[in-house]
Amino acid sequence: MKNLTLILLLMLVHIGTNAQYDIGSQATDFSLQSVDGKKVSLSDYADAKGYIVIFTCNTCPFAVAYEDRINDLDSKYKGLGFPVIAINPNDPELSPKDNMEAMIQRSADKNFSFPYLLDLGQKIYPQYGARRTPHVFVLHKEEGNNIVRYIGAIDNNHEDANDASERYVENAVDALLKGEAVKTEKTVAIGCDIKVKK
Amino acid sequence: MRKLGCIILFFVWAVLGLFAQEIRTVKYEQMAEIIDQKGDKLTIVNFWATWCIPCIEEIPHFVAVFNQYKAQTNLEMIFVSLDRATHLKEVAEFIKTNKMPGEALLLDDAKRFNEWIPKVHPDWEGNLPATGFYRKGELMEFHANMLTEEELIHIIDKLK
C-alpha cells in the first residue's frame, strides 16, 4: 500500500513537470538573466496590467522574421501596461548562436526595446509548454495572479507583416485592455522546435 | 554533330523535366487529396524545411528506411516542405542532392497555418519535424518530433 502511494505520488510529480499552460492557467514567475546582465522577473513590473511573454531565439528564420514586429509590440503596449518579455529557450551548447553573447549582439543590432532573457537550464519553457520559436503567451494580471489569456502566434503571416490579416497578439491585448474576453485564445503556426539538452 | 547536339539537348531537357516534376507547390486541400490518392498503401508524410536542423538530420533515416522497405511493404513517401515558395529552387536542389525518394510537395499555405495545422493533427503546435502515417487518407499515427531509423521501422512494422 505504501509502495502504491509512493508510485502514485511519483506519477503526480511526473505529470506536474510535464504540465503546460492552457487558457486560464496561472503562470509562474521566473528570474532569468537578460542581455544587460540583470535578472528579470515578472514581479519587477509592479505597474504592469499583464505581459507579452515571447519564447524566441536568434537562429530560427521564423523568429528572425518576427523581430521587428516584436519590437513594435513592445513600443505599442509597454506604455499601456503590457510589456514584452522575450525568452530564448534554446540550449546554448546545442545552438551556440543562441548563447548569451550572441543574444547581446542580436539585441544591440536590432535595438530590442524589451528584455531578452536566456532560459539557462531550460526550466521555464517546459512549465509554459512552449513548443517552438516564436511562441507567445499573453498573461493578464487578475487579482494579483498572472493568468494565461492567449497562446500562439503573433499574426497569420510570418513572411510579410503588412499582409497579415489577423494580428492575434494585438487583438488579445486590445481586448484585455478593454476588459473584454479574448476572441481567439489559441492559435498554431509553423516554427522551429526548441533545442533541448538531453 | 547536329544530331549530337539534339541528343544532348534532349538529355538536358529530360533531366530538367524530371527535376521540375520532383516538387509541386500546393495548398492544404491539394496535399490532402494527394495523400488520399495513395489509397491502400501505407503513406509516410514528413513535414520538413531546409531551415529546420533536426529535419535535415532526420531525412537520411527516411531515405534509408523507405528504400529498404518500399518493395516488401507497399510503402509511399511524401516529403512536404514548409519552406517559402520563393525558395522552391533551393528546396528542389536539396531534394536532388539528398536523393530524397517518393513525392515532394511545397506546402505554400502560410497564411492559413491556424486552419490546416489542427486539421493535420489537433495537438500539433506546428513544430518541425513532424510525420504522419496514412492509409486510405486516414491518419493512423502522428509524431511531432524527430524519428530514429529504429522508431520508423517499428512504426512501419506495426502499421503495415
DSSP H or E stretch at residue B26: strand B23-26
Into how many domains does chain A fold?
A: 1
Predicted confidence at residue B5, as pLDDT, reads: 59
Nearest chain A residue to B123 by CA distance is A188
Which member of A135, A152, A192 has the closest CB to residue B52? Answer: A192
The type of residue at B96 is K
B125:A60 CB<8 A: no
Give a yes or no: residue A56 inside a domain: yes
Strand, helix or coil for residue B155: helix
* DSSP single-letter state for residue B128: E
Strand partners, A32: A40
Residue B16 has pLDDT above 90, yes or no: no
Q: Is A6 inside any structural domain? A: no
Give chain B positions within 8 Å (CB) of A150: none
Cell 529552387 sits on residue: B89
Q: In whole angstroms, how far apart are CA B2 and each of A65, A132, A169, B13, B49?
A: 51, 57, 64, 16, 43
**What is the extent of the structural domain holding A124?**
21-193
Cα separation values, A11 from A1, A4, A15, A16, A129, Å: 15, 10, 6, 8, 19
pLDDT in tens, A15-74: 434 468 999 999 999 999 999 999 999 999 999 999 999 999 999 999 999 999 999 999
Q: Has residue A16 been placed in a domain?
A: no
CATH number at residue A163: 3.40.30.10
Please indicate if any CB of chain A lies within 8 Å of the CB of B101. no
What is the value of ipTM here, to two decimals?
Answer: 0.77
Provide CB contacts within 8 A for B10, sequence distance 6+: none
Q: Contact A156/B113, CB-based, under 8 Å? A: yes
Tens digits of residue pLDDT in B98-142: 999 999 999 999 889 999 999 999 999 999 999 999 999 999 999
Quick check: A159 and B128 CB within 8 A? Answer: no
Contacts B80 to A, Cβ<8 Å: none
Residue with more model confidence, A10 or A198: A198
Per-residue model confidence (pLDDT) at position A146: 97
All 3 cell numbers of residue B45?
508524410
In chain B, the domains with their CATH numbers are 23-159 (3.40.30.10)
| Count of beta carbons in the 10 Å neighbourhood of residue B65 | 22
> DSSP character for A51?
E
Residue A78 placed within a domain: yes
Interface test mutation site (partner B, options A188, A197, A198, max chain B beta carbons within 10 A): A188
Whether residue B127 and residue A158 make contact (CB cut-off 8 A), yes or no, is: no
What mean pLDDT, rounded, does chain A reach? 91
Residue A142 has pLDDT above 80, yes or no: yes
Q: Torsion angle, CA of A173/A177/A178/A184, rounded to 10 degrees?
A: 20
Write down the pLDDT at residue A11. Answer: 47
A83 phi, psi to nearest 5 deg: -70, 155
* Residue B100 exposed, middle or buried by CB count within 10 Å (0-12, 13-18, 19+): buried
Chain position carrying cell 503567451: A137
Nearest to A74 by CA among A120, A28, A37, A107: A107
**Cα–Cα dist A56/A53, whole Å:** 9
Half-sphere exposure of residue A177, counting CA atoms within 13 Å on the CB side? 17
Mind telling me how many Å the CA of A192 is from chain B's nearest CA?
A: 6
Q: Is the pLDDT of residue B96 over 70?
A: yes
- Report yes or no: B129 at the A interface, CB cutoff 8 Å: yes
| Cβ pair B51:A165 closer than 8 A | no
Q: Write the DSSP string, B60-119.
A: HHHHHHHHHHHHHHTEEEEEEE-S-GGGHHHHHHHHHHTT--SEEEEE--GGGHHHHHHH
What pLDDT does A160 receive? 86
**Is A4 within the bounds of a domain?**
no
The verdict on residue A108 lying in a domain is: yes
**CA–CA dist B68, A137 (Å, integer):** 44
* A198 inside domain: no
Please check whether residue A87 lies inside any domain of the structure: yes
